[in-house]
Each structure stands twice: as C-alpha cells, then as structure tokens.
Amino acid sequence: MSNLRKIQHAAERRTARVRHKLRLVSDLPRVSVFRSLNHVYAQLIDDAKGNTLLSCSSRELKKSGDKTSMAKAVGLELAKRAKAQGIAAVCFDRGAYRYHGRVKELCEGLREGGLSL
C-alpha cells in the first residue's frame, strides 16, 4: 500500500468514526464541513431522509478577508438560513478534519448565529 493510500484510508476511517458517533448520539440535522485549499463549504444534511437541506460556501459570499474569517462568515450565514427554515439545533460533523482553525471558526459562527450544537 502506498503512502498516499494509507493517508486516504486513515482519513476515511476518521470520517466514518465521527459520523458513526454522531448517529448514535443524535438524530438532529448534521452540519458537514469540507475544506479545500482556498474555500470552505458547509451543508446541513437530514440523514433520516438522505437529502441536503441547506448549503453555504465561502465562494457564495462576496466578502474578503483571510480564510478563517471567511469560515466564520460561512457559519453565520448558514445559521441565518437554518433559522429562517425553523431549524434551531444541529450536530456538527467535522469529518476527517481536526477541530481547529477554519473548522473551529465555522462552528463558532454557527453558535454565534443562534444554532445550538
């Protein structure tokens, strides 16, 4: 197994572990996070029905700043959209990413926007 394949396999295992724990604990909609090199994407997923309720990304927002401030703005915007649809509580799925930096700022933006995590 090549080194790159080992890294990918470890990331897949982390993602599955986090989602499995969330499924055991909560039946709330799940906020899934994806980080690319330049942008951050978040979507609100209803696992019971298997569809995406809302989504938001730093590409949609017409703001400027560093990546962490953009991640916080994405969190605030997603929280605003969720509140408009009547969603007050969600569970946060960090995926394979560690909870720091852009992922942490996105989560703090969700909290500041009024969602309970």
Query: Could you give all domains of the chain from N- to C-terminal order, each with its CATH number?
Result: 3-112 (3.30.420.100)
The tens digit of pLDDT for each residue in 51-94 reads 999 999 999 998 889 999 999 999 999 999 999 999 999 999 99
Number of helices followed by number of strands (H, E) in the chain:
3, 4
- pLDDT value at position 55? 97
CB of 40 within 8 A of CB of 70? yes
